[in-house]
Structure 1
């Protein structure tokens, strides 16, 4: 089966590509390398340098490769950047996805798996948030991740293309850059390794549903053959405060580092964790990694990276 991973040089996308290669899929990667890295791209995958805003180039790739399934992870992911530049956020996330859908239609892709976000829900009215919860985003990023869901459903109705929309909780793990809304783990990790004081925005009691990247990868692969025409949360169904996250990382590092508290940021949701019952039912998915296990694997990976850079800070 031919699978095209758009954004396949990025954090989540490159991990998905690796697993697809391991499972013997024929994999093509598209990425503009604005945040992705060429060294993340599996050598067994075909690679095209391409921006999803470039309609002509995108159609060329589809014409040559003719993928059966498209996994779409290319996006502007920074909530704060979306507030500073909502037009660019919308062009990348909304118009870019429409361009992808047009190519799927033109070249008869059978299915698209779309990476959406918990940000579409906005401030929860109840917890855990299930897929029936109203959609009411409080950031432009949340709007730009939700709007493509409507386009995907209508393209499916008009042209018979299947889809699975995956609404991710806060993903962390190897290859994540220390920036962006979902990057609090990697931001803390970077600070610990450099022996710099981390900052927590607000009082640290805000909660998130932190899910390890390998669980996200598993959900994507399960979506190749399951979850047709469904919107599905991918989560742990567990709330973890930012203070608890910091404490766990501090313990793993055996660090005495203190934390700096700063004012809350606009567009940030205070409390969120996602119900994952539908994922178990429709995707045959359940997360395998508890937070401390995922953190240990992530920290081990980056310790090796920072050693090579001469920046690693071992136990204090």
Structure 2
């Protein structure tokens, strides 16, 4: 198939690109490199399936129109977005434009050619978990940050095109994803930052009291979920979660990674108003509709990520 992947130079996008190329598709990657890095795609440069990398923005309607008119994509995996919660609090306009207006621009092009839309949302749209079975897709949402609010707005537009135009669309909500190629600096994920600090002899800093929990999904499991959502019409018109189905407190995660509790420090939270106290995924719907479930344990995922950070000389 001819496939457009927005945000394909990003952390998750890079793994989605890898899987699509392995499956034999022709892919075009559109990324403005505000979060992604072209080096993430270095190993695919000579791959015959990677037709073009375009540095550009989903806010450029003419660029999108030209791409769709020329290549008539069968699927658009739409991962391109502003992803930083604190940035959305500091500058909500940019996040709204990228995540909501940009998604509208994608939808309008997909409507022209009946292109399936796989929209990458986030578990950050949910209110805290109160059920021992975890968060299902029916769980209450809470836009605790402009990032979450922009994603909810985009989700509703994506689903509206399914109902109004019968456009095949699906909203996917992966939980906290980690693994190789994730940034290890301030914009990276907590697990990658913890591992880098461990390896470089620094303390591990935890915001607040560290009792907040996260459900951590290994990136290759996430990419498999993303790709399969595009292949199956069983999820069209649906919202679907993906996670490990196991949560862990930040205190326990830090202990698991560094071992030495004297290297764990607690610091004042930079955005306590947008903190979600407990995140635990219930992925039964993904298992039912896609036959998807995670394959990599947290311990194995940490081992693989630590090995990659060491091998990449990121310490």
Relative to the length of structure 1, the TM-score reads 0.91
2: CA distance between counterparts of 1:75 and 1:152? 15
Deviation of the 1:109 alpha carbon: 3.8
SS state at 1:209 partner: strand
Instruction: Give unpaired runs (5+ residues) of structure 1.
Output: none
Deviation of the 1:37 alpha carbon: 1.1
Equivalent pairs counted in the alignment come to 304
SS state at 2:173 partner: strand
Q: Which of 51, 56, 61 is residue 57 of structure 2 equivalent to?
A: 51
Q: Which of 268, 272, 275 is residue 279 of structure 2 equivalent to?
A: 272
Deviation of the 1:33 alpha carbon: 1.1
Q: Deviations over 1:38-63 (max 9, x none)?
A: 12122221211111111111212222
Query: What does residue 119 of structure 1 align with?
Result: 124
Q: Deviations over 1:93-143 (max 9, x none)?
A: 10111111111113x143111111111113334341111112222111111
Q: Which structure 2 residues correspond to residues 1-316 of structure 1 after superposition, within 5 A?
A: 1-41=1-41, 42-43=44-45, 44=47, 45=50, 46-106=52-112, 108-127=113-132, 128-178=134-184, 183-226=189-232, 227-251=235-259, 258-264=263-269, 265-266=271-272, 267-306=274-313, 312=315
1: CA distance between counterparts of 2:212 and 2:93? 29
2: CA distance between counterparts of 1:190 and 1:268? 23
| RMSD across aligned positions (CA) | 1.7
SS state at 1:113 partner: strand
Deviation of the 1:177 alpha carbon: 1.2
Relative to the length of structure 2, the TM-score reads 0.92
Q: Deviations over 1:162-219 (max 9, x none)?
A: 0121111100011111357871011112212322222100111211000000010110
Instruction: Give unpaired runs (5+ residues) of structure 2.
Output: none
